[in-house]
Amino acid sequence: MSFKDEDEVARYIGGIFQEAFKDEELGPTLADTGLVVSFRYTEPDAVLTVDMGNHQVYQGERDDVDPSATMYMKAETANAYWQGAVNLPFAIARGKVTVEGNVASLLKLAPLGSKLFSVYTGMLERDGRQDLLVDK
Amino acid sequence: MVATGEQRTYSSVSVSPLSFWATTAEEREESFRLLREHDPVSWQVPLEGSLMPPQQQGIWAVVRHEDIVYVSKNPEIFSSAQGVQQEEVPGDILAAAESFLGMDAPEHSRLRRLVSAAFTPKQVAKIEDQIKNQAEQIVDDLLATGDCDFVEQVSKRLPMWTIYEMMGLDPAKRETAAAAADGMVSWADEDVAAGREPGQVLNESLVTLLSTGMEFAEHRRKNPANDLMTNLVQAEIDGEKLTDEEIGAFFVLLSVAGNDTTRNTITLTMKALCDFPEQRDLLLEDFEGRIDTAIEEFVRWVTPVMTFRRTVTQDTELRGRQISAGEWVVMFYSSGNRDESVFADPHRFDVTRRPNPHVAFGGGGPHFCLGNMLAKTQLRAIFDQLLHRAPKLEVGEPSYLVGNFVRGVKSMPCRLG
Ligand code: HEM
């Protein structure tokens, strides 16, 4: 199962960053990285650009922000990733995730990401989105 | 609870900065000697790394032989499951790169058993003859080439050839795989990184090895042959098989564990045999009779794997120091192998040294080097060829890799004399 459209992707995947920005530990840490990461999804097509430094998530194509890295994947891969069910190096090796730009910067974010897995599943459960929960 | 009130002052002898690891092993030994004597379980600033900021306040440095053995043999207290490198590495990378080296029982035992089942005596016997032929070929080429870089021309070739030949990997893919294996242990070195960020070097190397390993596993499922990869995809214990991911991670482990270790042992043993010509003569007087004993001294002398880490699972005590659950303990094999309480005259390269209970392959326990027999077979074959067929071979100064894990040599000139 995956998301219906870009709005849903923004609501959940974008939402996870909004949650992280509010967190008193993660918020400042993410801001300090100053990273801008663009996520380009397929099935459904969706684009999110996350500006960590300014705590902003943009939906849709933007030509006024300059990402330091761009990640390409199916939306369902992102959904599984945020539930802790995707190992990034394996996914890249399998071609399920493609990264353009500074991979090193993304690796630095990885440990922060894992702190958000339970937040994400909590969000899905709260909205009754059992259809999006993956088996691990 | 163990008192957490113990003063945690950092040791006055620091082994943490990369500048320390940029000095020679002999210079570092001066610090280890002090630590062995005065501060055998010392509290150190986290070893300086380059991937991620350290999440630990410090690490415990274990430098005495006896303590390295104790840590190695008590995996319930000193766990490998949270990684075995000194640097903070993202969890995803650990899971993909360390295979069973970074696991505890029962997962470790299950995987190690499955993999060991693929290293059948038949497989090992077959490779032994091939290693001899390959060593001969390498020295043929060396004699034809003349003066050259010993690492490129000799040391690099045999280990890479051996593991990938055993595996059955397509020769066209071997150079790329071996270069990626190098990247896995040398991201901190500026030459290797060539302008890339350390994390990028690591990730690119890892992804290259993983995809090579997984594609190869898939290929062998469909096209079985007579090699280790075929054994791995078919290996089964109690109805359980390895997944492609597990094989991919093991391919990474094997590529890393089997390449640099033996390569650097060959390089630095050659240097030792040139530095101490009377030991070379002694060995040559009765090569067949002395080589097995000598090989133990080669690996002790070189100690190509300098450090491995464990994470403490419960509050514990070591030499009177209170160690809390979750803290890191780093074993310094280089130091254990110069421990004067175990080795008489530890700074002497002595090809007849016996007994020689070195910890170069680990301090015993469940993770003891799986490839130690294979490494010894390679060392025997290459030095048989080198010492007998290039008797006047001399080497120059090695150029060392900077890093706190593998004692690596990037290049070393040699003259055939
Ligand atoms: C002179 C050469 C070598 C040295 C000094 C060396 C050293 C080591 C050390 C120190 C360990 C960890 C031991 C511990 O944690 O207690 C290890 C583990 C290992 N080595 Fe080697 N190694 C060498 C060659 C090889 C080769 C050629 C192979 C390939 C077949 C290999 C495969 C492995 C594997 C698979 C492990 C993981 C074992 C486990 O976790 O159960 N090694 N090695």
Q: Letter for the amino acid at B209?
A: L
Residue A13 belongs to some domain of the structure: yes
Closest Cβ opposite residue B203 in set A94, A103, A111: A103
Residue with the smallest CA separation from ligand 1 atom 15 is B367
Residue B331 to chain A, least CA–CA distance (Å): 25
- pLDDT surpasses 50 at B269: yes
| pTM recorded for the entire structure | 0.92
Minimal Cα distance from B93: which residue of A?
Answer: A89
CA dist B187 and B93 (Å) reads 14
Q: Are A10 and A20 in contact (CB under 8 A)?
A: no
Contacts of B118 (CB under 8 A, 6+ apart): B228, B231, B232, B235
Minimal Cα distance from B249: which residue of A?
Answer: A90
Pairwise CB contact (< 8 Å): B211 & A102: no
Contacts of A128 (CB under 8 A, 6+ apart): none
- More confidently predicted of A104 and A22: A22
B contact residues 81-120, partner A, Cβ 8 Å cutoff:
90-93, 95-97
pLDDT of residue B139: 98
Residue A128 belongs to some domain of the structure: no
Closest Cβ opposite residue B96 in set A89, A105, A111: A89
Residue A52 belongs to some domain of the structure: yes
Residue A41 belongs to some domain of the structure: yes
pLDDT of residue B3: 43
Q: Count of CB atoms within 10 A of residue A5's CB?
A: 12
**pLDDT tens string B138-191:** 999 999 999 999 999 999 999 999 999 999 999 999 999 999 998 888 877 777
Checking ipTM against 0.95, whether it exceeds it is no
Chain A interface, best mutation among B207, B245, B253, by max A CB count within 10 A: B207
pLDDT of residue B116: 86
Which residues in chain A are closer than 8 Å to B95, comparing Cβ atoms? 87
B305: left (phi over 0), alpha (psi -120 to 50) or beta: beta
Pairwise CB contact (< 8 Å): A111 & B52: yes
Residue A134 belongs to some domain of the structure: no
pLDDT of residue B186: 80
3-state secondary structure of A85: coil
Is the Cβ atom of B368 under 6 angstroms away from ligand 1? yes
Write the CATH number for A64.
Answer: 3.30.1050.10
Q: Are B271 and B304 in contact (CB under 8 A)?
A: no
CA dist B205 and B251 (Å) reads 12
Domains of chain B plus CATH, in order, are: 18-415 (1.10.630.10)
Is the Cβ atom of B163 under 6 angstroms away from ligand 1? yes
Burial class (CB in 10 A: 0-12, 13-18, 19+), B281: exposed
Of the candidates B36, B230, B49, which has an alpha carbon nearest to the alpha carbon of residue B123? B230
Is the Cβ atom of B72 under 6 angstroms away from ligand 1? yes
Residue A133 belongs to some domain of the structure: no
**pLDDT tens string B68-109:** 999 999 999 999 999 998 887 877 888 888 999 999 999 999
Number of domains in chain A: 1
**Residue A106: which domain range?**
6-123
Residue A132 belongs to some domain of the structure: no
Pairwise CB contact (< 8 Å): B206 & A89: yes
**pLDDT tens string A4-43:** 999 999 999 999 999 999 999 889 989 988 899 999 999 9
Chain A interface, best mutation among B82, B92, B184, by max A CB count within 10 A: B92
Which percentage of chain B shows pLDDT scores above 90?
Answer: 76
Q: Are B143 and B390 in contact (CB under 8 A)?
A: yes
Residue A129 belongs to some domain of the structure: no
Q: Are A67 and A57 in contact (CB under 8 A)?
A: no
Q: Which atom of ligand 1 is nearest to the CA of B102?
A: 40
**pLDDT tens string B29-66:** 999 999 999 999 999 999 877 677 777 899 999 999 99
